[in-house]
Amino acid sequence: MSTGEFARGLEGVVAAESAICSMEGGLRYRGYDACRLAARKTFDEVAYLLLEGELPEERQLADFRSSIATNATLPASLAALLRALPRDSSPMDVLRTAASTLGTCDALRFDNSRAANLQKSRQLLGQLPLALAVFWRAPEGNALPNWRADASIAENILTLLGRGEVDAESVRALDMTLVLYAEHELAASTFAARVVASTLSDLHAAVTAAIGALKGPLHGGANERVIEWLRQFRSPQDAERWALEALAEKRRVMGFGHRVYKQGDPRAEFLREPCRQLAARVGQQPFEEIASRIEAVMLREKQLHPNLDWPAARIYYYLGLPIPLYTPLFVLARVAGWCAHVIEQHSDNRLIRPRARYVGPPPRDLP
């Protein structure tokens, strides 16, 4: 692209070289098909892959989980702040505040080396779920369970959020969504993180900016909206009428379409069957029938396919997770990708500083 050429929203502009993620011919993390990773690997293994560049061997995975467990603690001042926040605070604001505050007291806060950032990344993988749980469960007044080094990140998250004893099927369902949310090239939040990192700011600052970007409804939040309006329908026929009215009135239907995946999001297609299986296990087949009817309408009328938020939202709903925590769960997964991008940006840095096309008044003299 020549200097001065304008691309609205930077669409189609190549702004970085990366070895982390590819979206050409399907989504791949470090060369591995993301859906196959979701089918066969845990989020822990995929987070390690994103950060370290290779899948872990058994001993490396055990050490990784042990490191996360050891660092899954919060400064007393942050825990007190989280409990004191207004109860109507957005959980996304809570996570943003937690990430920023953790950056003020991290022992490695002045160290931007690769080794230090890898350590900070491991810490955040345990600290952010813990921060979310401390805020969300503060009214209960009970101590939270300790992070278990012998359990996966997905199992620890479900336990921290109050699911108690969790079954393997529930853990596996959450695990698959975390894997598929973990990374997605230069999405808005990842680009925000890389812009901050390009100034040679620290990893916590970049993650804080990324959370702020993900909070916006055009990036994160769609999974919450999906369930909020799916719950209003009584039947597939009711859902179809609503969808047709929404399309006629040119209202946005959350959970459909993607700027990159014009022929369908492979992540959504992969989660289709696990979502149906989970629905059958918890007695939510009618909900799936409603969702299927809307899918049919969107494809027939607009040739729009579901994106990842469509099945992921339903999986979280079938797992009994509170709706305000759906986008924060996105954060708990994507932090692995964000940290990988910060480390990569720092490894071969150039300040990200695009230009703007001026459309204001021409030069004019003061009166």
Q: What is the pLDDT of residues 216-242, one digit of tens each?
A: 988 888 889 889 889 999 999 999 999
Tokens representing residue 219 in the block: 């990036």
Closest C-alpha to 294, from 309, 310, 312:
310
The arithmetic mean of pLDDT across residues 10-36, rounded, is 93
Closest C-alpha to 276, from 239, 314, 238:
314
Torsional class of 265: left (φ above 0), alpha (ψ -120 to 50), beta (otherwise) = beta
Convert the pLDDT of each residue in 298-342 to its tens digit.
999 998 999 999 999 999 999 999 999 999 999 999 999 999 999
Tokens representing residue 311 in the block: 């099945």
Give the model's confidence band at 1: pLDDT under 50 very low, under 70 low, under 90 confident, else very high.
very low
Which regions of the chain carry the CATH code 1.10.580.10? 20-216+324-347
pTM: 0.94
Instruction: Report, at the CATH architecture level, how domain 20-216+324-347 is classified.
Output: Orthogonal Bundle (1.10)
Interacting residues of 353 by C-beta distance below 8 A, sequence separation 6+: none
309 is catalytic: yes
Question: Is the torsion defined by CA of 198, 202, 203, 204 positive or negative?
Answer: negative
Q: Pick the catalytic residue: 44, 184, 309, 346?
A: 309
Q: Class of the 222-318 domain?
A: mainly alpha
The arithmetic mean of pLDDT across residues 163-189, rounded, is 94
| Burial label, 60 (beta-carbon count in 10 A; 0-12, 13-18, 19+) | middle
Q: What is the pLDDT of residue 284?
A: 95
Convert the pLDDT of each residue in 91-128 to its tens digit.
999 999 999 999 999 999 999 999 999 999 999 999 99
Gap between the Cα atoms of 121 and 116, Å rounded:
9
167 is catalytic: no
Place of tokens 């813990």: 130
Q: Pick the catalytic residue: 184, 204, 258, 341?
A: 258
Backbone angles phi, psi at 306, to 5 degrees: -65, 150
